[in-house]
Amino acid sequence: MTTRADSGRDAPTGLRARDPDDAGRPGAPQPKAPGRPPAGPHGIEGQALQEAEAARDVAEAARDVAEAAQVRLTLVARAGALIAEARHPVEALRRLVRSAVPALADITVAYRLGERGTLRPVAGAYADPAHRRLARALQTSIPLDALPGVHPVAEAIRTARPVVLPSVGEAVLRAVALDEAHLAALRAFGLTSGVVLPLLGRERVLGALVFAAAGSGRRYGEADLPPFEILARQCTAAVEQAALFAREHRIAATMQRASLPRDLPIVPGVELSASYRPATREAEVGGDWYDAFRLPDGRLALSLGDVAGRGLRAAVAMGQVRPALRAAALEGASPAAVLDRVSRLLQLDGQEEMASAIFGIFDPVTLAFTYATAGHPPPLLGRPDGRVEVLPHGGPPLGIWCAEGYADTTVTLAPGALLVLYTDGLVEATRNLTEGLRRLMGVVGDQARAPGGQAAAAIQHALLRHEEARDDVAVVVLRVQPIVPDGLRLTLPARPSAVRIARQAVSRLAAEAGLDRRQTLGVQVAVSEAVSNIIEHAYGPAGGPIHLHAFLAEGRLTVEVRDVGRWRTPREEGRGRGLALMRALADRVTIERGETGTTVRVDIALRCAGARPAAP
């Protein structure tokens, strides 16, 4: 064992430097003749023994230093591996401070420097729990220019060089304190030594790391800098990489959400719901999408899929696939032909990404759903009694050439049926596809037996409420509402699109009543004229609601179209033929005008052989 002498050199324990004034004093050691070692047990042998012990102490001390250095390097390596896995700058800093305490410091704090020069503590780790409570009072943002010039964090950032504080005394605390309250808090930490390192990015200083001793007796010097400098470099690289990843993640998420429809189409007699849940891990942001839109003939098109891969490339590919499906569908192609065109488009563009997808067309009058799949999970059909059917599926993913191609499948949905389309993230949360599909079928059966609003969100919540979403999840649910004795009720905005929706509503009711083609056409035209008149005459540019009620009663089909506006006189002469046309096509047309609006009532008698009697 060695001690530090005043001169700064180590001397063996138990030895004292000789004092010239000791000569001649009784009991004092006498000088020996040059070249003659002392005799006896404390002579040559004793000196050799002491020298051997001193050498052993020096070797042990060197070994302790080497072992400590090895431990520090191992800790630094482990910390570097943890930091490198971070997917957000703050996460990287948090991992670093946790890895440094208590192995390298008693307190570690990470600061981020904003682009506007604001310094903010974003992560801290403390060996003493009491220090953690103290730190909460100091975690405030402050402009870098507001810090005293001698503040070690400010100095490290301004000079881009490490700052070592071998000793932290009262003078240092007073120099860096912002006010008396801050000074009192700094004293409570009991700081004894510290090291501050800047985080030097490629283009600017990103922040600073503070490593401090408080209670452990550590004293930092220039020789202790290497492991801290290695950590700072690793952390800087991880922070910049994480910042790039976070930026890409934000762009991908923004593109993904922008590609999803803002609103779902209104379809008479159909409850349509959709739900999208991004991955809980930023690293897992993918290319899931869903879409629902009307075709020119009034049918409803549905698409849902998942681009393979993650991040910005997947989002970009998804942004190409979804509109390509729309474009192909608007040309009148069948679902199988739509998938084939989009797949060939991806191959032609040389896209490396492939995608699974399902595309289908639903007829709200006949209730037929025709669809095709491309490497996608099977759609599910829930029946009102709770039974669930796994519908046929197959075909290669989009972007992959395959000789067999795609095939159309048609199913007819009974009133009360529930059609569920989903991406694989919904059934892969447990990493067991069979178990995931079994659980999904159980949830779909429950939803089919107990109909309610927002079925897509309810299904997703039931399956994932206790699971971490490792992948994006998209769900689309189409429920066919049964015709009730009260008929169909709709409230539509007074816009041109309301005409088509109203026609669809009465078309399904006409089919339910068994009207022939001529009668169905008559009620469609009559309702179209009634809705068009409300749009033109009842409201100004701000618009308003159109209330439609269609029902079967007393052997006839009755449609009531009501507004809450005030009708304006026609702008041109020669108008008003619409009322005459309505009366020519219907058995009776009545118009009731009042202070609260106008109601147009159209009645058509059920004269065909197949007409169903009115519900009791």
pLDDT tens by residue, 503-512: 888 888 888 7
3-state secondary structure 382-426: ECCCCCEEECCCCCCCECCCCCCCCCCEEEECCCCCEEEEECHHH
The sign of the dihedral angle between the CA atoms of 296, 299, 300, 305 is: negative
CATH code, 260-480 = 3.60.40.10
pLDDT at 20 over 60: no
Is 81 strand, coil or helix? Answer: helix
Domain formed by 488-605, architecture: 2-Layer Sandwich (3.30)
CB 79 within 8 A of CB 237: no
Instruction: Supply the pLDDT for residue 69.
Output: 52
Mean pLDDT of 562-575: 70
pLDDT at 104 over 70: yes
Q: Write out the two tokens for 556.
A: 């006839």
Percent of the chain with pLDDT over 90: 28
Instruction: Identify the band that residue 182 occupies on the pLDDT scale cut at 50, 70 and 90.
Output: confident
Helix (H) or strand (E) holding 32: none
State the Cα–Cα distance between residues 303 and 287, nearest whole angstrom: 14
Instruction: Identify the band that residue 334 occupies on the pLDDT scale cut at 50, 70 and 90.
Output: very high
Is 379 exposed, middle or buried (CB count within 10 Å of its CB: 0-12, 13-18, 19+)?
Answer: buried
Instruction: Supply the pLDDT for residue 237.
Output: 82
Instruction: Supply the pLDDT for residue 22.
Output: 45
Instruction: Supply the pLDDT for residue 83.
Output: 55
Between these two residues, 44 and 143, which has the higher pLDDT value? 143
Instruction: Supply the pLDDT for residue 554.
Output: 80
Minimum mean pLDDT among 97-101, 187-191, 237-241, 432-436: which range?
A: 237-241
* Most confident region among 52-56, 86-90, 476-480 by mean pLDDT: 476-480
Residue 184 to residues 9, 117, 121, 281: CA-CA distances in angstroms? 38, 26, 19, 41
pLDDT at 372 over 90: yes
pLDDT at 19 over 50: no
**Start-to-end Cα distance in the chain:** 105
Minimum mean pLDDT among 54-58, 152-156, 165-169, 547-551: which range?
A: 54-58
The model's pLDDT over 218-251, given as tens digits with 9 standing for 90+, comes to 899 998 898 888 888 888 887 787 777 777 767 7
State the Cα–Cα distance between residues 515 and 484, nearest whole angstrom: 18
Measure the CA angle with vertex 188, ends 183 and 194; round to 5°: 80
| Residue 558 CB neighbours (<10 A) | 20
Percent of the chain with pLDDT over 70: 77
State the Cα–Cα distance between residues 463 and 455, nearest whole angstrom: 12
Minimum mean pLDDT among 3-17, 253-267, 270-284, 576-590: which range?
A: 3-17
Is 298 exposed, middle or buried (CB count within 10 Å of its CB: 0-12, 13-18, 19+)?
Answer: middle
**Domains in the chain: boundaries:** 68-248, 260-480, 488-605
pLDDT at 150 over 90: no
What's the pTM value of the predicted model, to 2 decimals?
A: 0.62
Helices 517-533 & 577-585, crossing angle to 10 degrees?
150
Burial 240-276 (b: 16+ CB within 10 A, else e): bbbbebbebbeebbebbeebeeeebebbbbbbbbbbb
CATH superfamily placement of domain 68-248: GAF domain (3.30.450.40)
State the Cα–Cα distance between residues 597 and 530, nearest whole angstrom: 14
The rounded mean pLDDT for the chain is 80
